[in-house]
Amino acid sequence: MLEDLIRRNRSYRRFDQNHSIALETLRELVDLTRLSASGANLQPLKYILSCDPETNERIFPHTRWAGYLEDWDGPAPGERPAAYIVILGDTEIKKSITCDQGIAAQSMLLGATERGLGGCILGSIEMEGLRQTLDIPQQYEILLILALGKPVETVEIEEVGPDGDIQYYRDDEGVHHVPKRSLSELVIGEYGKQFRISGAANVKPRSLSEKPTIARVSLAPDGQAVERNTRRRSHCATSRTFRENQRRLPDASASRSRSVSPTGS
């Protein structure tokens, strides 16, 4: 399911470096993103792939990791990415590329996650050094690097607290925590009918600082309106009708763990 895939698709920064990734896999990921949206359908992105340990070792010094973790210099030897995809913009096709690379990176990361891999989008790059190292012609603007591997860390999503701090952090057990803003903080305007099934209106909106529930209404494939709650069960509305509605959905009643393990298990 797409939502599960997106939840599992976290930024991982520590990998089992011995778990190699085949060039064919990297080519598959680019082939996947080749089908993604592109402004004016210009498709100006080009890619350099590396799963060669020696080349990887030359790429790594030009990458910058987890700026908020001030005491951490990035993955240690043995935990470094097994592969990189360097995303370039062909300036002969388009001078300034602002959006395509993000879509491409996300498509490839989702593809990697689906394959039991993980990775991190890197925008903080020592550009000139990388250009020299990989002998990248000036025609190509270096946009992003996708670092990939078999993750060996646990990442947990949590809600941004009342202090509004969005900085990720690592706890004493080495678990990486990523605060995400609530849906209600993101949606600043809504027009249109609230589409609810009868009796489910007991899911009351709360104040911005509380907002532990994200109640959503969508259409099931059979055209039925369904309401789901993406948060822990303890936060679910207690209305009987709502519970009944949940029971009708095969997966909505299962409480979702916010912890994301590398394998997604």
Ligand X SMILES: Cc1cc2nc3c(=O)[nH]c(=O)nc-3n(C[C@H](O)[C@H](O)[C@H](O)COP(=O)(O)O)c2cc1C
120 contributes a contact to ligand X by CB under 6 A:
yes
Residues with Cβ < 8 Å from 195, sequence gap 6 or more?
A: 217, 225
- As measured in angstroms, the least distance from the Cβ of 117 to ligand X is 14
Residue among 189, 187, 192 nearest 215 (CA): 187
# residues contacting ligand X (CB under 6 A): 14
Place of tokens 């100006």: 44
Distance CA 140, CA 44 (A): 10
Dist. CA 246–CA 216, nearest whole Å: 12
Write each residue from 21 to 60 as x if it is in contact with ligand X (CB under 6 A), else as -, in one continuous string: ----------------------------------------
Name the DSSP class of 80.
Answer: S
Single out the residue of 206, 212, 217 nearest to residue 242, CA to CA.
217
Q: Is 140 in the site for ligand X (CB under 6 A)?
A: no
Site for ligand X in 54-83 (CB under 6 A): 64-66
Can you tell me which of 21, 51, 155, 236 binds ligand X, judged by CB under 6 A?
155
Residue of 57, 43, 52, 56 lying closest to 88 (CA atoms): 43
Is residue 182 within 8 A of residue 208, CB to CB? The reply is yes
CB nearer to ligand X: pick between 14 and 245: 14
Min separation Cβ 79 and ligand X, Å:
13
Distance in angstroms (rounded) separating the CA atoms of residues 228 and 246: 7
Q: How far is the CB of 179 from ligand X (least distance, A)?
A: 9
> Which C-beta is closer to ligand X: that of 80 or that of 237?
80
Smaller CB separation from ligand X, 104 or 122: 122
For residue 204, give the amino acid letter.
K
Contacting residue, 26, 108, 122, 130, with ligand X by CB under 6 A? 122
To ligand X, the closest distance from the beta carbon of 232 in angstroms equals 19
Among 5, 32, 121, 225, binds ligand X (CB under 6 A): 121
- Residues at the contact surface with ligand X, assessed by CB under 6 A: 10-11, 13, 64-66, 120-124, 155, 168, 178
